[in-house]
Structure 1
Amino acid sequence: MTMDRTSAQYDIEKKSLLVAYLLWFFLGYVGAHRFYLGRPISGFVMLALSAVTLVLTLVSFGFLSFLWFAVGLWWLIDALLIPSIVAGRNTRIADRVFSSRR
């Protein structure tokens, strides 16, 4: 594989910090940014936590709405973690793509 094709493959697969933050901002409470960044297990846990919290809030007529605090806290912490998650993911992609060139 030539260097141009290898670089193109990396550019196609690399994850965007902007896209990760947009997903975090609009759909972060369901873990969309974690699915995008290749962390499906924690994305599913975040999705399940949001779903359970929603159901408990509805069933308790809002008395358990304080459970949204846990989802919101995780969502805010992820705002700080996203740059390192993106960098790590892109490093793994680069290692895989550029090592297959040999």
Structure 2
Amino acid sequence: MPPTEQYGLVFDGDLPPMRSLRTAWLLALFLGFAGADRFYLHKPVTGTLKLLTLGGAGLWWLIDLLRITNEYATDGASMPLAGTNSLRRGLRLASTVLVITLAGAVVCVSAAPVTGTVTATVAAMNALLHPAPPPPAKEWVTVAEASATKPPGPLVTLTGRLHIEYTFTGAAVAYLQPVKGPALTVLSLAKAGAGAIGISLAPGTYTLIVSTTGTLWHLTAQEYRLPG
């Protein structure tokens, strides 16, 4: 049995590509009632619900126009959306103007205004223009780094899903030694090479062990989680 199967090690391959912020926003604007933006972001369940409810009678459509422009917005794989900060600010302004315009139009054409409508509208606008601080966002955190000049050390993973990038000028083997139990082979090269792999293992503390015949090498392990 291969060592990877013996110790339950799974290689996930390369990370999925980042989805475009501009494309997601345009889909949300023009095809949001059909859930096209959520299908594009690999969220088929909520995309189907949005389609069946015609964008939640318009409310879901407006909410997603603002949500996509949030700097912490992610796709279905928890990957951030690709786009510059200036683009994000511009789209956020356009979404806010559109929401305010539609809200004003609804109030103006109401046949019988209800007591408290103005107060509710002002409160809703304040909530849109001054949203509550977002919760902490996930980011790529380096949990271990070693090179020819920097010896390997401890590795602490909270999620158990690691993205490892490496460069070796000779044959190399890298292990992760848990506090208890046998060591896990995470990389085995018969000759020099460079690349990236994904692995899954139990969360916990490990000791990174690297053996190589090359004189120049570098290895970095990261995981996507809340910082700190």
Partner of 2:66: 80
Contact 1:37 1:89 in 2 (8 A): yes
Contact 2:38 2:46 in 1 (8 A): yes
> By how many angstroms is 1:22 displaced?
1.0
Partner of 2:41: 37
Contact 1:31 1:47 in 2 (8 A): yes
Deviations 1:47-100 (A, max 9, x none): 1112xxxxxxxxxxxxxxxxx8x4211101111111349743388348679451
Distance 1:40 1:17 in 2: 18
TM-score of the two chains, using structure 1 as the length reference: 0.55
Matched, 1:24 2:28: yes
Q: Identify the structure with bigger relative contact order (alpha carbons < 8 Å, sequence gap 6+).
A: 1
In the superposition, relative to structure 1, how do residues 13 and 90 fare at CA in structure 2: closer, same or farther (>3 Å)? farther
User: 5+ residue gaps in structure 2?
Assistant: 1-13, 81-139, 141-160, 165-197, 200-220, 222-228
In the superposition, relative to structure 1, how do residues 91 and 45 fare at CA in structure 2: closer, same or farther (>3 Å)? closer
Distance 1:85 1:40 in 2: 22
1:47 maps to a residue whose letter is L
Counting strand residues as a fraction of each chain, which structure ranks higher? 2
Distance 2:29 2:52 in 1: 18
1:21 maps to a residue whose letter is W
2:68 maps to a residue whose letter is I
Aligned residues: 75
Superposed CA RMSD: 3.4
2:18 maps to a residue whose letter is K
Indicate the structure (1 or 2) with the bigger Cα radius of gyration. Answer: 2
Contact 1:15 1:89 in 2 (8 A): yes
Percent of matched pairs sharing the same residue: 37
- Worse-matched range after superposition: 87-96 or 76-85: 87-96
Contact 2:41 2:76 in 1 (8 A): no
- Worse-matched range after superposition: 32-41 or 70-79: 70-79
Secondary structure, counterpart of 1:13 in structure 2: coil
Secondary structure, counterpart of 1:76 in structure 2: helix
> By how many angstroms is 1:20 displaced?
0.2
Contact 1:37 1:86 in 2 (8 A): no
Distance 2:78 2:64 in 1: 20
